[in-house]
Amino acid sequence: MTPPLRHVTRRLACAAICLAPAAVSYAQNTSRQAPPVLDVHFHAMDDSGPTAVPMCPNTSRFTASDPATKEATNGWAQEECTPKLYPAAKGEYIKDVVADMERLNVTAVVFGTPESVRKWIDAAPGRVIPGTGFEAAGARVPLDQLRTSFAKDGFKVMGEIGLQYQGVSPSDMSVDQYFALAEELDIPVAIHMGTGGSGRSNVTRSTFRGSMGNPLLLEELLARHPKLRVQVMHAGYPMIDNMLTLLQANSHVYVDLAGLIWSYPLKEVNRYIERLVDGGFGDRVMFGTDQLVWPKLMAYSISIIQNADYLTPEQKRDILYNNAARFLRIDPKSAK
Ligand SMILES: [Zn+2]
């Protein structure tokens, strides 16, 4: 999922602000009010942004548009809704989100530039698992710089990898060196696949290709790197058959529900999650929000899982925590 404000990127300049591995600890979560949640897909935004507007999650339909008119940048139908999610007041975004992370006992994999992620580590000590990708400000990050981030500076996940927005396959050889590095360092990779553009990729992202979100495009990459652990972000939505095919063919592949969980019609979202679980992959479905812009997005997204009447309490806990803990190799005892 990439709403308009999504990939806020700045050129990396790690040097003085790199993360010391010792700064990353997940053993400090002391909240006893809620069982722990792992959000594996969260963006290190500073603020909601000046152009952010209220949003209705799970709108019921996407609207057509006419190229002869001024076209909106997303296709979500204009509906009234409860709850409506609001951007944070200026300067309040991080504070508001951290308050909900504390209240809901959430630890998150936070993706962004090293500088932006560092800000979140400072704001939410013990609740941030740092992630960073190989693109920043529209350019590829030098391989040595990325190696330093993962080998020395404590970053744990390589992502978000948004090749689909450039119309590039994850198996394209032009990016193979990054995946080879991840395999060498035993770092999981998180790749955007499936969703994108909120119904208006044609208007906002001319290089986006739905076809490059096909989960089966990962097969060549996975064959080249048999030890690579892959998080298919957005669960390859809506290509369920191909997603299930890949999950059956490769036991190192997990999916996250981020973005799709709040940005498609609710009945369809639940049907998709149910297919993944009923297909036999309930231990590889991970919760995520795609947290950005709206501080209450996380609480809202968690409620979708909690209210899913087709999931057992054990399946809900697997999605909200256990599966991600296994994928990320987090000691379950480290979060209380
Ligand atoms: Zn994404």
pLDDT band at 66 (very low <50, low <70, confident <90, very high): very high
Helix, strand or coil for residue 190? Answer: strand
Residue 148 to residue 219: CA distance in whole angstroms: 28
H-state helical runs in 279-334: 297-306, 313-317, 323-328
Mean pLDDT of 217-244: 98
Q: Look at residue 9 in the predicted model and tell me its pLDDT.
A: 32
pLDDT band at 7 (very low <50, low <70, confident <90, very high): very low
Report whether pLDDT(328) > 90: yes
Q: Look at residue 4 in the predicted model and tell me its pLDDT.
A: 38
pLDDT tens per residue, range 72-114: 999 999 999 999 999 999 999 999 999 999 999 999 999 999 9
Distance from chain centroid for Cα 318: 17
Show the CA angle centred on residue 41, arms to residues 163 and 229, nearest 5°.
65
Domains of the chain: 32-334 (3.20.20.140)
Mean pLDDT of 247-276: 98
Q: Look at residue 304 in the predicted model and tell me its pLDDT.
A: 98
CA of 275 to the centre of ligand 1 (A): 21
Cβ atoms within 10 Å, residue 307:
11
CA of 32 to the centre of ligand 1 (A): 31
CA of 92 to the centre of ligand 1 (A): 24
CA of 72 to the centre of ligand 1 (A): 20
Report whether pLDDT(274) > 90: yes
Q: Look at residue 255 in the predicted model and tell me its pLDDT.
A: 98
Q: What percent of the chain has pLDDT over 70?
A: 89
Q: At what angle do helices 266-276 and 297-306 cross, to 10 degrees?
A: 60
Q: Look at residue 3 in the predicted model and tell me its pLDDT.
A: 40
CA of 260 to the centre of ligand 1 (A): 9
Mean pLDDT of 219-246: 98
pLDDT band at 331 (very low <50, low <70, confident <90, very high): confident
Mean pLDDT of 281-294: 97
Report whether pLDDT(24) > 50: no
Q: Look at residue 20 in the predicted model and tell me its pLDDT.
A: 35
Mean pLDDT of 229-252: 98
CA of 311 to the centre of ligand 1 (A): 25
Which of 6-15, 43-52, 299-308, 324-333 is the most confident on average? Answer: 299-308
CA of 170 to the centre of ligand 1 (A): 13
Say which residue the tokens 């799970």 belong to.
Answer: 58
CA of 167 to the centre of ligand 1 (A): 14
pLDDT band at 197 (very low <50, low <70, confident <90, very high): confident
CA of 191 to the centre of ligand 1 (A): 7
Residues present in the chain in total: 336
